[in-house]
Amino acid sequence: MDIRELLLDVASTYDAGAGLKKGVPGQELLRSVRGRRLEGLPVGYKAAGYGGKGGATATPWIGVMDPEITEDPKQGLYLAYIFAADLSTVSLTLQQGVTSLEQRLGRGVRRRIYLRRRARFLFEGVPKDLVEDWNIRPDLKSEVDRARSYEAGSVAARTYGTNSMPPEINLREDLWHMAEILQHAAAVERALKDEETPDGPQAAVVSPKPEAKGLEGFRPKDGSDYLSHIPERTIKKSRSHEALVGLFGEYIEKRGFVPITKKMHPKDIVLRRDGNEWLVEAKTVKRGNPTKAVREALGQLYEYSHFLYEEQEQAMPHLLGLFTEDIKAYAPYLEKRGIASIWKTVDGWAGSPMAVAWGMVDEQ
């Protein structure tokens, strides 16, 4: 099911007056979202529908979460499609968790004031060009406190009329753009803490903790020495990374390549076809900036091809970088260094000229 179809189906079937019981079409549809494969989601993201707990909500919604940020909409930052109470509109919004604040702030005005201040702080920490057209407050057409808290907790949003829903490709582009905003906002959130003031808790900036180091200090003497220092536990793969590898494996197999991941550690994935081998390194692009992902892919592909092939006197493989999104100017940069690249798009896969020549992607 694609995004547009799902949103229109919810708008046409949801009935808050019908309650939560089994067999209610709108509620059944929302409950089914968690188990569906929703087309157009950014790599690694998960979706779930919510129609209320204890009673049907007036403002049903569909959460779209990056599990590396939060899988629990009660806390943390996540994306959501929230319907207005009259179902005339649905807003794609970057939301703050609301429910986890109840014990400390209650359900009324204090919680909404806290959420509005924090939303402003998060919004201002995101690059201005990303949120230039997203500075709106959704109107959910409800006086229920939960709905008003959703309005207050919205960091950025865009609203669609359910009678004038944009085409699917535009919805996907908006969602992927909002996913980039989410990554930046999550980085800002990590530098925040709450301080008590006479007006209640307010967000304040704290110094971020230094990032953990990897194997930067290790100096291998030869290939066997290198291999002995990269046991399974030293390489932690993110869920987005694993989702990317899984999606690509399904896709590339249909194009006549044999993807292999078992017993390939530390390689992410190896492709084989007609006696040729491709060494693939998969990377997640964070906050729309491919620089770090490209640097890591470049280094690891050269490193692995040297130690795991050349030093082992095996035939050298073709090199391929795999990314969660378009790496833009870095694609020709990698090509000049003998490395092809492929990336996930809103409606499939795209890649560099070498990837096209190998038959891995179609020419754009």
User: Which CATH number applies to 223-357?
Assistant: 3.40.1350
DSSP tag of 87: S
Ramachandran assignment for 212, one of left (phi > 0), alpha (psi -120 to 50 degrees), beta (any other) = beta
Closest CA to 338 of 274, 275, 278: 278
Q: How confident is the prediction along the chain (364 residues), in pLDDT tens digits per residue?
A: 899 999 999 999 999 999 999 999 999 999 999 988 889 999 999 999 999 988 999 999 999 999 989 988 888 899 999 999 999 999 999 999 877 777 667 677 888 888 888 899 899 999 999 999 898 889 999 999 989 999 999 999 999 999 999 999 999 999 999 999 999 999 888 877 776 776 666 666 665 554 444 545 555 555 555 555 555 544 455 678 889 999 999 999 999 999 998 877 788 899 999 999 999 999 999 887 899 999 999 999 999 999 999 998 999 999 999 999 999 999 999 999 999 999 999 999 999 999 999 999 999 8
Phi, psi of 65 (to 5 degrees): -120, 140
Q: Say if residues 325 and 176 touch (Cβ distance below 8 Å).
A: yes
Alpha helices in the chain (DSSP H): 3-13, 25-32, 102-105, 109-125, 128-131, 145-153, 168-190, 223-228, 239-253, 291-305, 330-335, 353-357
The two beta strands, 339-345 and 46-52, are unpaired
Neighbouring residues of 46: CB distance < 8 A, sequence distance ≥ 6: 34, 64, 65, 67, 71
- Rounded CA gap, 307 and 323, in Å? 23
Sketch the domain layout of the chain as residue ranges: 3-205, 223-357
Q: Say if residues 338 and 321 touch (Cβ distance below 8 Å).
A: no
